[in-house]
Amino acid sequence: MNVIIQHMPVNILSIWFNIMGWGMIILWIIIRYRIQKEKPAIWKAVLAALAGIISFSWNMMLMDMVVRIAVLPLGVWILHFFLRKHRYEIYRPYAWIGFWSNYIFLAAMLLSTMIHSVMYPINNADTYLANVEQAVLIPTHPTAPQAVLHPKQLRSLIPKLEQAEDQTYTWYSQTSTKGKPDYQMERIPYVVINTHARWGSGLQSMVYLERDGKGLLITTEKRQFYYRSEEPLVEIGGGE
């Protein structure tokens, strides 16, 4: 019996930089609190900072992701509207700390993304197939040839995989133009489960195997990667 093992993906860099971002904000609040002559209740200062985070933001695509750039300090304005002038003067610095913290988090996200791309190259098959010890091959099409996956063999061949042009559209065109039933033309009749990306990458993917056992299609949330191997990744026609 094959056991399907699910690992919760964790983006360790994102977590680390978020912790650092919060640490900087807390330190900023503490420093401001210590130098302030008329001190508010510390919990009220923290609430003012949290309120200051509220902002009108402009969304834009950067580094293949949507980032939010704070433009208008809505939280600061809200406090100005609801607090009396004297009380507002006391809490205003913390509200502005909250607003500028948006940029601290933005910088943390960009830094973590850049370092992530170096530590976990998205074009490398090994990034997505770091652990294949419990890999299981499942046919997803009735015409899939009998095949057996040997995890150790697959592990040894992963470093030799070469990225090739994704031929998904070409295969679909061939299927549509040859006039044969789809079940006779399926090029990727297997899915490989129980594979895990490198620890800490936070990456999730679906891994598909081509009919000849030499083509591997890795699909992530944002893109697809197609790899070819000179040797079969599985034993085609092998018995149990």
Q: How many C-beta atoms surround the C-beta of residue 28 within 10 A?
A: 18
What is the β-pairing status of strands 162-164 and 224-228?
antiparallel
With a cut of 70, which residues of the chain have pLDDT below it? 1-8, 166-185, 238-240
End-to-end alpha-carbon separation of the chain, Å? 12
Looking at the DSSP bridge assignments, the partners of residue 219 are 206, 224
Question: Could you tell me the pTM of the whole model?
Answer: 0.80
**H or E element, residue 24:** helix 12-35
Residues 6+ apart with CB under 8 A from 133: 151, 155
CA atoms of 92 and 210, how far apart (whole Å): 61
What pLDDT does residue 175 have? 47
What pLDDT does residue 135 have? 94
Q: How many C-beta atoms surround the C-beta of residue 3 within 10 A?
A: 7
CA atoms of 125 and 120, how far apart (whole Å): 10
Q: How many C-beta atoms surround the C-beta of residue 191 within 10 A?
A: 16
pLDDT one-digit tens code per residue, 91-146: 999 999 999 999 999 999 999 999 999 999 999 999 999 999 999 999 998 888 89
What pLDDT does residue 86 have? 87
